[in-house]
A and B are shown apart, each in its own frame.
Chain A
Amino acid sequence: GQQLNQSPQSMFIQEGEDVSMNCTSSSIFNTWLWYKQEPGEGPVLLIALYKAGELTSNGRLTAQFGITRKDSFLNISASIPSDVGIYFCAGRSISGGSNYKLTFGKGTLLTVNP
């Protein structure tokens, strides 16, 4: 089945630093999504990408849909303590019958030291 490799698994950074994480897939995707999950809550959608090469920002967050359609990255600039959480990538493949299924990466745990 489809697999998403998300890296790094965890990051420990100082407040103010920039952060970068990425996902690669074994399949071509037509949608990439980035979610953030805080303790005790469900994942919350941060950014959605629908076109190869697309670069989208949401405040200090920037995400890109890779040209090969098999990868995506998320950058966070000038991190702050409230950025702490688990960040998930998710993708939707163009193959297969269930077009509405999302495949999720294993997540990147981000810790920000004030």
Chain B
Amino acid sequence: DAGVIQSPRHEVTEMGQEVTLRCKPISGHDYLFWYRQTMMRGLELLIYFNNNVPIDDSGMPEDRFSAKMPNASFSTLKIQPSEPRDSAVYFCASSPDVGGYTFGSGTRLTVV
């Protein structure tokens, strides 16, 4: 099992540019979560999906953020336009049920 796969591992972009982060969950996991980690705020849940359907997006900071899950093996988190305050590590995690999540290695985003 390759685990949760995220790409890219690092992204540096200029303010105003569009950024797309990608995630492949563990096969058979029905739940997919997007988290953002910063020193100030710790781990924050942005959105989660169940069977490809968004269930709770109350953590999405603003309209510049959007997430999709077109099928069970792929999800994207898009920021458009990006701002310096979006700089953080973004994690994708998946889970089969109410147990613990399995996290990916994260994407470190730097917006300059």
Contacts and interface: CB of A to CB of B under 8 A. Distances in A.
B34 interface: no
A47 to B, nearest CB: 9
Contact of B42 (A31, A33, A106): A106
Nearest to B41: A106
A30 to B, nearest CB: 9
Interface stretch (A10-18, A37-45, A53-61, A68-76): A37-45
Q: Is the interface of B mostly helix, strand, loop or mixed?
A: strand
Given A42-B91, A42-B93, A107-B42, A101 B56 contact: yes
Interface in B41-75: 42-43, 45, 48, 50, 55-56
Interface of B: 4, 31, 42-43, 45, 48, 50, 55-56, 91, 93, 95, 98-106
Contacts, number: 46
Interface residues of A, number: 22
Nearest to B30: A100
Contact of A45 (B91, B98, B101): B101
